[in-house]
Every structure is written in C-alpha cells, then in structure tokens.
A and B are shown apart, each in its own frame.
Chain A
Amino acid sequence: MSESVIEKQAGAAYPAPAVEELSMQKTINRALADALRADPKVLVLGEDVGQLGGVFRVTADLQAEFGADRVFDTPLAESGILGMSVGLAMAGYHPIPEVQFDGFAYPAVNQIIAQIGRLNYRSRGKLPMPITLRVPSFGGLRAPEMHTESLEALFAHVPGLKVVSPANPHQAYHLMRLAATMPDPVMFLEPKPRYWQKEAVDLAEPGMLDGARIAREGKHVTLVAYGAMVARCLQVAELAAEDGIQVEVVDLRWIKPLDIATLAGSVAKTKRAIVVHEAPLTAGMGGEIAAQLTQACFDLLKAPVERVTGFDVPYPSGDLEDEYVPNVDRILFGIQRVLEYRRG
C-alpha cells in the first residue's frame, strides 16, 4: 500500500514507513508469500522447497501457510520440475519452480530452451508460459562444483526468455513480485553471496522496476554490473573516490531485455565504460554490452569498452574463486586502463 498523498497534503502525521532492515533471502521469501496470497494460481515447487523451506530457506514456512498443494516438493529431477511447470502453465497456473543450484539447470536445458522459451511462439501466443524460474546463482560461497555458475549469457541468448538478477533485498522483493505477475518466462537469478546481507527495504514503494538503475552517480567512468557484482562495484567506487575518481555504477537488473538507453545515458556523461561479470569472457554479456555501447556511443567514447570478467575456464573450486571472480584490484586496474587509454 502506498502512502496517501492526500494525508501528506493535509499535513497529517505520516503513517509508519514500510522500511525495514531485511536480507535478500528474507525479502524473496516475503515476495513469494505475497505472490501466493495475491494470486491463487501461483505455485512454488522444487526439490526440498516444502517442509525444509529450500536449502537456502528462501521458501521457509510457505508450505505451512499455503498448504502442500501450492508449495510442494518434487522428485529430484530438474527436467521433470521444469517440464511439469510447462504443463502447469498450460493449465492456467503460474509456477515458480526452483532449481536448487545454478549448475543443476543444465539437466533441464531442453525444457528451458526448447520448451519454456518457445511454447508461446510455437502456439502463436495461445499457450503463454508464465513461469518464474528461481536460480540461486553466482559464486563466493566456496561451494562444491556446479553450485556456483553464472548462466546469464546462456539464458539471455535464448529467444523467448527474460532474465533478471536483483542486486539488493529491495530489488529482490519487488522484482520477484513483478515477475510473478508477468505472462512470459523469467529466469530469476538470485545472487547467493548476497542472500544474508541486510539492507533497508521499502516493501511499499517499488520505485521504477523497468530496465537498469543508476546505483551510484559519478562522472569519470561507468561500471556496468548485475547481481552480486553490483555490491563489489559500489565498493570499488568508494575506493576510487578516495583518489578523486568518481565512478558511476549502473545496476543492469534486466539482463534481457537489455536497457541500453540507460547505459548509453550514463556513458554519454562519463565517456568510459567497463562491464564487470563473473561469467567467462568469451561470448559473455560483456561482449554484447560493449558492442551495443559502441554502436550507441561510438563518437563519445574516449576508450574502448573494457571488460573485467571471469576467465574461459570452468568456475574453479573455492580456493581459486578469489582469483577467478573479478576482485576489487582487477576492477581498479580496469578503471585505470580506460582512464589512461590514448588513441594510437
């Protein structure tokens, strides 16, 4: 419920603000509960999502409140979970399936790409696929193999899918509420390493949820990031500010569709851009963003669009993770490269 404008104008006391300190894990849980409450067709399903509340407890207590018909455990089979979700969507439901960890989306690739991504098309719009696939994503937890993947470019490349990744608890709540009402399939990439960080969340006021968001204003260089890397870029911006470099951080949020207008707007101001992501460099989102920014801002750019990313190697085990995931130093080097770039 939004605050009443009339009350404000009448000078009456403001109602208590709806701002709370919450973790992302908690706000997604709230968003799911509110989505289940708002729409009887919303279902939550997956491995261990019921009584346990999911291995990250993102679905905690939902089964107790909404019953085992609406929040249910499935057998351990990702293709099964996603394929079943397709049929449920055809039957008029809005399934919110979970794959327990990013790497376990791989066994369901046919259902995600060939079925979920194409059924609206195949059926000429008669069989919409309102499915919100929750994927605990990205690294930083020193987890076992396949528990740490960065799948955004894979999903973004697939026609028919929309891809979003919230960077903070506020975004997570509102983007999930939005996704749960969208008639198209949304790959909802939850940054695992950010699950437990508490931040101020305004549950009542979503703000703009379309496209990208300027997470911090600056004028010397634009850092483009999404998901877990937004917090790291904000940290880099703090450090750079000590040296007098004002970094603008753009939180992409929607990886597909890509909000190139907001990015170009930022680059028009800063003239320099660096894309930061955990996924491998080759054919990653960085390449796409660099190409589109070059096209939109070729004359304005004072340096080629830089990329600070993971490497073309499988996501390494915990001990090497800090070498792989863009760290503060590597991002600072990237900033230095674009600031010092001279045309040959």
Chain B
Amino acid sequence: MSIAPRHERTTTAPTLEVPAAELTVEQQRELYRLLAAVRHLDVSAIAWQRQGIIPGYAPGRGQEAAQVGSAFALERGSDFVFPTYREVGVARAWGVDMVAYMSTHKATWHGGLYDPAASRFAPIQAVVGGSVLHAVGWAHGQTLDGRKADGTLNAAISYFGDGASSQGDVHEAMNFAAIFKAPVIFFVQNNGWAISVPTERQVAGGSVSARALGYGMATVQVDGNDVEAVYAATKAARAYAAAGHGPVLIEAMTYRRGPHSTSDDPGRYRSLEDERTDGGQDPVDRYAEALRTAGVADDEFFAQALAEAQAEENAIREGVAAMDPRPGTEMFDFVFQEPTGALRAQANHWREESEHV
C-alpha cells in the first residue's frame, strides 16, 4: 500500500539575487565613518566598565561590518529593527540616541531609554531569540495594513546569533514567516561563538542558512567582515521582502573578538592565537584598506574620522556618566497603561517608606 501525497510539493527555496553594492563615494565614506565611530565607542565601553562608569557591557568588536552594513541598507521611517543585546553598531547606524542606548548597560533602564516606537528600534532584548517572533508579527501587521503607494511593504529585521538559532522560538519564527510570507529579514550574525560554545557545537546541519532553506526561505550567506557585501545582501533582501515575496535569512559569517561580555573569560575556551587566526582580517582595517586602494579616502580622511569618533565617544561617555538613576516612582509607572488600584497602593506604600521628609 502506498500513500499518495495530497499535493505535489516543491521543496526548493527561492534564490535571492544579490547585485553588487552600488555606493557613491560619499556613501562609502559615510560607511567608514560609521565603522570607526562604532569601533571606538565599543572598545571604549569596555574601558568605561573597567573604570566603573558602567557595570557591564556586551562588546561587538569584529561585528561592526555586519551591523553597520545591514543597518545602512534599511529604510528609516518605514522599517523596524528588532535587536538583541549586542547591536551597538546597528543602533548607531540607525540613528538611535547612543546615551539612551547605553543606559541599559549602565543598569538605568532595561531595554534602554530611547523611544522604541519613535526610533523604530525595539527595546534591547536579553532573552536570546526572544524577539525574533515579534519581528514576524510586526511584519505580518505590515501585510495586513496593505501596500504603500509605491506598491511595497515596510520590512522588519531581526538580529540574532548562531547560539540563538538553537532556540525553538527562532524555528517557530522562520516557519511562521514563511507560511505568512511576512516581510521580515532574519539577520544572523554568526560570530563563531555562543559564549564558550563554538558554532559547530551549536548548529546542526552545517549553518543557520541551511536550516532556513528547509523552511522554503530565500537565504544568503555573506562575508560578514565585508561591509559592502553585507550592505548589498541586506539591500537585496529588503527589496525582496518589501515586494511581498516573503522572508529572507541572511547569515553574516563574522567573528566576535574578545570576550562575550565584560564578565567573560575567553582564555578558558580559546587562545589569543586562535583568535588571531580564526578571526581573519579585522573588518574596519579591511574597509580602510579597500577605500585607500580605491582612492576614495586618504590619511587626512582617516584622521578626521578618528577624531570625530573620539569626540562622539567623549560626548556619549559624559552623557552616560552624568545620567542619574531613574526616580523610583517609575518602577510603578510603566507596568500597565492603566495601572491597577493594587499597584497604586504599593506605589504609595513604597513612597511613604522610602521618601523621608
């Protein structure tokens, strides 16, 4: 006896054409300035932690090209970004207020103090894989809203790591997105490590994009250390999703240099020598070299980009250092849109016992 299939099903995933990035000289220079600003801020933030300005930080060193290149390809005012906790480069390239962004690392407010609705950059997410489904839901909302005058949809982009890709939610998200043809980009930063566990102990099936193929999704693996390649892939993915063809998964192959967080000790799971050889060429240096070779930038440009990055970091550090703790009342203010009587009573109780006259 044989069981006839109900439908003839095709399992081949669509392919995504990625044309070469066509960037103007000014855009290239802007990309470099972003990389320099993010690198300087990120490295400095580790120092801030050592100096006691902030209690902790999740460094993004090595991932600048993946973050800046992807964010640069999105459309402000229409798209929505769903970050995790390591998207400092995305936030900066997307124009998020960086003092407000860093407030999460100062333990001032979970999720950050920037306005996630106005900036279209969702609150910082501590649960690995926690917001991937949110991106799908938001993207489906765009489908329900209908196409814009130009015939396209707004797109969501969800950032997560190779470790997060082991979470069930990420698989539910990929399946949902493919079923609903949601205009969402899954942007995986495969930085080789999930804290101490390397990708090969994390991702069965060879790669995250190989899994996405199984969901019938268009996928692209890109050199995550090549900012223009990431830009081109994201631009193409965005156009594809916004045209209503459904989700795309981009797997940016990169490398997290240094520790997972300021409390991590990478010496326990790899050597500095491993880091030097596995990491490949530094993405920021690499772009500097490319621009120099192409005659797009010279010493003067690089010196100025560095000076701007330093000035910017200075201002952010001062902003962060000057940031006061939030007033205690805010603990109660934002639990509900319509607070309950019980919560008001607790707030009053707290006030009486803590605000001494």
**B172 CB contact (under 8 Å) in A77, A88, A114, A162:** A77
Interface locus among A90-98, A194-202, A237-245: A90-98
Chain A binding surface SS class: mixed
Q: Is A256 interfacial (CB 8 A cutoff)?
A: yes
Contact A127 B133 (CB under 8 A): no
**CB nearest neighbor in B for A80:** B172
**CB nearest neighbor in B for A130:** B337
Distance in angstroms between the alpha carbons of A126 and B117 in the assembled complex: 6
Q: Is B142 interfacial (CB 8 A cutoff)?
A: yes
**CB nearest neighbor in A for B178:** A75
Q: Is A206 interfacial (CB 8 A cutoff)?
A: no
Q: Is A125 interfacial (CB 8 A cutoff)?
A: yes
Q: Is A183 interfacial (CB 8 A cutoff)?
A: yes
Distance in angstroms between the alpha carbons of A226 and B130 in the assembled complex: 33
Distance in angstroms between the alpha carbons of A90 and B118 in the assembled complex: 12
Q: Is A317 interfacial (CB 8 A cutoff)?
A: no
Residues 62-113 of A contacting B (Cβ, < 8 Å): 69, 74-75, 77, 79-80, 82-93, 95, 110-111
Contact A111 B137 (CB under 8 A): no
Contact A126 B116 (CB under 8 A): yes
**A162 CB contact (under 8 Å) in B109, B137, B141, B340:** B340
B131 to chain A, nearest CB (A): 8
Most A CB within 10 A of own CB, among B137, B145, B335, B338: B137
Residues 72-87 of B contacting A (Cβ, < 8 Å): 80
Contact A90 B134 (CB under 8 A): yes
Chain B binding surface SS class: helix
A241 to chain B, nearest CB (A): 33
Q: How many residues of B contact A (CB 8 A)?
A: 46
Contact A84 B175 (CB under 8 A): no
Q: Is B144 interfacial (CB 8 A cutoff)?
A: yes
Contact B135 A87 (CB under 8 A): yes
A230 to chain B, nearest CB (A): 22
Q: Is A248 interfacial (CB 8 A cutoff)?
A: no
Contact A85 B334 (CB under 8 A): no
Distance in angstroms between the alpha carbons of A121 and B337 in the assembled complex: 9
Contact A127 B176 (CB under 8 A): no
**A124 CB contact (under 8 Å) in B137, B145, B156, B334:** B334
**B140 CB contact (under 8 Å) in A87, A121, A159, A257:** A87
Contact B136 A83 (CB under 8 A): yes
Distance in angstroms between the alpha carbons of A122 and B83 in the assembled complex: 14
Distance in angstroms between the alpha carbons of A259 and B139 in the assembled complex: 39
Contact B337 A128 (CB under 8 A): yes
Chain B neighbourhood of A183, CB < 8 A: 337-338
Q: Using CB atoms and an 8 Å cutoff, list the residues of chain B in contact with chain A.
A: 80, 109-111, 113, 115-118, 122-123, 127, 130-142, 144-145, 156, 168-169, 172-173, 175-176, 179, 330, 333-338, 340-343
Q: Using CB atoms and an 8 Å cutoff, list the residues of chain A in contact with chain B.
A: 43, 69, 74-75, 77, 79-80, 82-93, 95, 110-111, 114-115, 119-128, 159-160, 162, 182-184, 256-258, 260
| Additional 9 contacts, C-beta under 8 A, given A80-B133, A91-B142 | A43-B144, A79-B172, A84-B176, A87-B156, A125-B334, A126-B117, A127-B122, A184-B336, A256-B342
